[in-house]
Amino acid sequence: MTKGYLIRLFEKNNFVLFKRQFVILIAEKLAANAYESDRPASYVKAEDAFYFKNRDKEIIEFPSNKKGLLKLFPEKKMEIEIFIKQNKTDFKKEEDLIKLIEFLSV
């Protein structure tokens, strides 16, 4: 079971893109000697994960590369390859993924 929640980024024609944000707790570190100083506990934002829902299927993690995306949509292989090349799609950028989902929803 996964804990947390998903943020809906984009929806069109039953294609939905979600984002899950991660935050990591860095533990407090006490000084080992008098030359060091204590470091308080802190939170660090980790890399976001993106998820995808297509029509009535379940939510799956969005592929992190072109090869994974082509496995999901083998019938649109040529169109996807052309779109990714023309738009220089980065699979880690939220804006690029929204454009890609908008393209797939047509």
Q: Residue 54: its pLDDT value, please?
A: 83
What does the block give as tokens for 33? 């000697």
Condensed to tens digits (0 to 9), the pLDDT of residues 13-39 reads 888 999 999 899 999 999 999 999 999
Q: Identify whether 76 is part of a domain.
A: yes
Q: Residue 1: its pLDDT value, please?
A: 44
What does the block give as tokens for 89? 């799609």
Q: Which domain holds residue 35?
A: 7-104
CB 52 within 8 A of CB 60: yes
Q: Identify whether 57 is part of a domain.
A: yes
Q: Residue 2: its pLDDT value, please?
A: 58
Q: Identify whether 66 is part of a domain.
A: yes
Q: pTM for this one?
A: 0.77
DSSP output for 3-59: -S--EEEEEETTEEEEEE--EEEEPPB--SSTTS--B--EEEE---EEEEEETTSPP
Q: Identify whether 25 is part of a domain.
A: yes
Question: How many distinct structural domains can be found in the chain?
Answer: 1
Q: Identify whether 82 is part of a domain.
A: yes
Q: Identify whether 56 is part of a domain.
A: yes
Reading the chain (106 residues) residue by residue, the pLDDT tens digits are 456 789 999 998 888 999 999 899 999 999 999 999 999 999 999 999 999 998 778 888 999 999 999 998 899 899 999 999 999 999 999 999 999 999 988 7
